[in-house]
Amino acid sequence: MKLVFATHNDHKLKEVQQLLPKSIQLLSLKDIDCFDEIPETGTTLEENAKIKADFVTKTYGLNCFSDDTGLLVDALNGAPGVFSARYAGEQKNDKDNMVKLLSELKGANNRSAHFKTVVYLNLKEDSYTFDGIVEGHITHEEHGNGGFGYDPIFKPNGYDKTFGELPSTTKNTISHRGRAMAKLVEFLKNKEL
């Protein structure tokens, strides 16, 4: 079965490829010659994931899923949230986003945060959503150079290393995206496609 993952992010694509069963041929936006920057105009993670998946399904007529992820920091009333990727500006620079977040948390005692991923799937004219959450806290400085996004400053509860330090196999098992994708994979297996 062919399934499009509506992303231009190679890191996300690689992470998701490791999670899906071999029976699913995962296609990226590049694979279907979609080079459009799909505008994420939603006010929630769910809306943004739906916008991206719907764009691909309507434009290309393909089964597709998309995700949107946000880092929600308690001391910042849930920011950066839906704006996580462009927190420091439209250039979507991971380093700039981390610097801004650490600066805004300077002196904050409460550093609790959680990542949330919402996956939106369009499959055979039906739509489904799956989500995953991982609780943790924001460190005072970057640790590790693995992963992407805020990984070097997010330490999941129960671990003494950030997502930037943990092996990808561990991160994929416990992460927000890993949990949402596990629900998607389980759903696809039960659909007997």
pLDDT tens digit sequence for 50-106: 999 999 999 999 999 999 999 999 999 999 999 999 999 988 899 999 999 999 999
What one-letter code names the amino acid at 128? Y
Model confidence at 192, in pLDDT bands (50, 70, 90)? low
Which residue bears the tokens 């231009």?
Answer: 8
DSSP 95-111: HHHHHHHHHHTTT-S--
**What is the set of domains in the chain, with CATH numbers?**
2-191 (3.90.950.10)
Q: Decide if pLDDT at 181 tops 60.
A: yes
Question: For the whole prediction, is pTM greater than 0.85?
Answer: yes
- ∠ Cα 172 130 121 (to 5°): 105
| Annotated active-site residue in 31, 36, 68, 160 | 68
Distance (Å, rounded) from C-alpha 188 to C-alpha 182?
10
Q: What are phi and psi of 52, to 5 degrees?
A: -70, -45
DSSP, res 77: T
13-40 per-position pLDDT tens digit? 887 887 787 888 999 999 999 998 898 8
Are the C-beta atoms of residues 117 and 176 closer than 8 Å to each other? yes
- Clarify whether 31 is annotated catalytic: no
Alpha-carbon span 46 to 67, nearest angstrom:
8
Amino acid at position 189, single letter: K
The C-alpha atoms of residue 18 and residue 157 are separated, in whole angstroms, by 23
